[in-house]
Amino acid sequence: MRTPPWLADALIGVAVTGTLAAVISARQGGEHPPDPIAYAWAAGLGALMLARRHHPRAVLLISALGLCAYYAAGYPAVGVAVPLAAALFSTAEAGFLLASVLTAGGVLALSLTFRLLEGQDAAYVVGYDLVSHVTLMAAAIALGDGLRSRRAQRALHLRENHLRVREERLAIARDLHDSVGHGLSIISLHADVAREAAPPGNAALDEALLRIRQAADRTMAELRGAVGALRGTVSLSDLSPVLDPLRRAGFDVSVRVPAGSLPAEVDAAAYRIVQEAVTNVLRHAPEASRVSVSATVSGGALHLTVGDDGPADPDLDAGTAAIAPDGNPDAGAGHGLAGMAERARALGGTLRLAHTDAGFTVEAELPLGRTA
């Protein structure tokens, strides 16, 4: 049974508070002895862990500023790595690796500067204390980043398995429809032809041929139901199978789709475009932390946007790409995008790809009343 996220965060907060309280009570230096305010500060840093999943950078910034305020008040030393370790881990786990590294480096540089200006032994401060702080901070950041990477890989693996199973089911559905369905249609057709050609007055033969045709028709109806079940019904109204792997991997996912119903072919095409775009995020934007899906209906078309905040991938050229006249993306658009372009083109729509410093965006416009 998985531990609920809120409970895990609460336990981390308790651990942070308990560790800091123990270090404070040791009274290692400082102008003022520990008092209730010092312990309240420790509890405050622990309470911040409850917001670490939704606001990791804010938690890290507040923790760093709180640490500076603690030392400015002259309380006993608690180091710099221990108070910030959980916040650094959470920020790296959320995908903000650079923010973690810069914050850790800034706090270490500030601490080192003040300690040397105070006349503390440089050999001890630089040779031992600094190394221990750097090691602990680096371990926290590496652990968070590694956990995020493993989650992203696991989510990608699950997504690829899902796509593989779906492709196999679609292949079976096509085979059933093309072979068995065709055979049943032939049986029904020839049963009708035989009834028309049979000599009049033979009621038994006519009844037998009628039952053959009816059995073929019933079996055809059952086959259509089985093929439909194998193909599955997908819709923008239920993107959970597509987006849940992202959420489990730690992504901040926002969704805004129209509440009304859409034409089936448009709904299915939009779903598949979102699915492919999400797969591309997992494959090509491991450093991304946010994914947004937005769909609106205006001007007789569905306007779909899927974006992430990941940095540029060397496998994809920066800039923009749109559907060329032949229906394919411009060169440099990368693998996995041709399918999205083809789905849009089949409905008479357009697909636009944009890769900027803000991230990668897929924009599709799908007419509601036209199919190819």
Say yes or no: 19 and 133 in one domain.
yes
* Domain-embedded: residue 239: yes
* Domain-embedded: residue 297: yes
Domain boundary among 125, 153, 181: 153
* Domain-embedded: residue 176: no
Q: Which residues contact 290 (CB under 8 A, 6 or more apart)?
A: 251, 252, 253, 254, 308, 309, 359
Q: How confident is the model at residue 313 (pLDDT cuts 50, 70, 90)?
A: low
Domain boundary among 97, 132, 153: 153
The angle, 0 to 180 degrees and rounded to 10, between the axes of the packed helices 5-25 and 81-93 is: 160
Return the sign of the alpha-carbon dihedral for residues 273, 274, 275, 281: positive
Say yes or no: 238 and 135 in one domain.
no
From 234, 239, 233, 272, select the one nearest 254 (Cα to Cα): 239
pTM of the complete model: 0.56
* Domain-embedded: residue 299: yes
Backbone dihedral angles phi then psi of residue 323, each to the nearest 5 degrees: -70, 130
Say yes or no: 148 and 14 in one domain.
yes
Domain boundary among 153, 170, 195: 153
The alpha carbon of residue 134 and the mean position of all alpha carbons in its chain are separated, in whole angstroms, by 31
* Domain-embedded: residue 255: yes
Q: What is the pLDDT of residues 166-212, one digit of tens each?
A: 778 777 777 776 677 777 778 888 888 888 888 887 888 888 888 89
* Domain-embedded: residue 170: no
With 70 as the cut, is the pLDDT of residue 15 above it? yes
Q: Where do the DSSP E strands lie in 23-177?
A: none
From 275, 309, 276, select the one nearest 292 (Cα to Cα): 309
Say yes or no: 34 and 147 in one domain.
yes
Say yes or no: 247 and 365 in one domain.
yes
Say yes or no: 129 and 239 in one domain.
no
Q: What is the pLDDT of residues 113-167, one digit of tens each?
A: 988 887 888 888 888 889 999 999 999 999 999 999 998 888 888 878 877 887 7
CATH (domain of 358):
3.30.565.10
β-sheet with 359-367: strand ranges across: 252-256, 290-298, 301-308, 359-367, 350-356, 319-322
* Domain-embedded: residue 78: yes
* Domain-embedded: residue 140: yes
Q: What is the pLDDT of residues 58-113, one digit of tens each?
A: 999 999 999 999 998 888 888 899 999 999 999 999 889 999 999 999 999 999 99
Say yes or no: 261 and 364 in one domain.
yes
Range of the domain at 20: 5-153
- Work out how many domains the chain is built from and give that number: 2
Specify the DSSP class assigned to residue 76. Answer: P
CA distances from 345 to 233, 236, 354 (A): 21, 19, 18
Task: Tell the burial category of 294 from Cβ atoms under 10 Å away from its Cβ (0-12, 13-18, 19+).
Answer: middle
